[in-house]
Amino acid sequence: MKVKTLSLVAGMTLVASVGFAQSVIAQDGMTWTKTGVDDIYGVVDVGCGHTPTSTGGFNQCDPYNGDTDCDALLPVLCFLPAGLPKPHNLSTPSHYHQWSGGVVATTPIVSGNSFATVGEVDDFCRKHFGSGWRVAEFHDGWGWYFKAYGNVGNNFNYSRRRFWVHINGQANGNCW
């Protein structure tokens, strides 16, 4: 069988043989980072991340198309929705950095394409942390960031210090 490969656009390849064509598209998934810690209350701020520039800056994540190759080995940010009240004097400086009422933790590293569905990612979180845990979701606060009890581990060795997060309603933003 003769196989012919033709590059169409960056990130997309068409593989064709007699009576067969398949499109292979590199997929990215959304990741977040730790953006702050309040040591007094045991609260962490997690979110997209922001790189300031002279013209304002840009977000470090892409919830619509993903920002990190799904083959990358990163921890999953897991979330326990607990309905906990916001600590009395905890600062929430903008509508983005809101209190989630929950707890966060990170798993050992895993590639984003290890999971076929968000349910599989939720199961991975429950395997590591127990009943009620699931993958953190973009809107667990107001959106883009949130604050929660807990922290994220330093058990992952890479320069960007990012972790997999889910977003509802944006199929191209997730690896699964």
Q: What is the pTM of this model?
A: 0.82
Helices (H) and strands (E) in the chain, counts: 1, 16
Give the rounded percent of residues in the chain with a pLDDT score beyond 70: 82
Is residue 7 a contact partner of residue 23, using CB atoms and an 8 Å limit? no
Give the span between the Cα atoms of 69 and 66, in whole angstroms.
8
- Give the length of the chain: 176
Q: Please tell me which residue, 154 or 5, carries the higher pLDDT value.
A: 154
Give the span between the Cα atoms of 8 and 43, in whole angstroms.
47
Give the span between the Cα atoms of 132 and 136, in whole angstroms.
12
Q: What is the mean pLDDT of residues 126-144?
A: 97
Is residue 27 a contact partner of residue 130, using CB atoms and an 8 Å limit? no
pLDDT band of 159, cuts 50, 70, 90: low
Is residue 78 a contact partner of residue 128, using CB atoms and an 8 Å limit? yes
Q: How far does the chain reach from its first CA to its final CA, in angstroms? A: 32
CB-CB neighbours of 9 under 10 Å:
8
Q: Which amino acid is at 10?
A: A
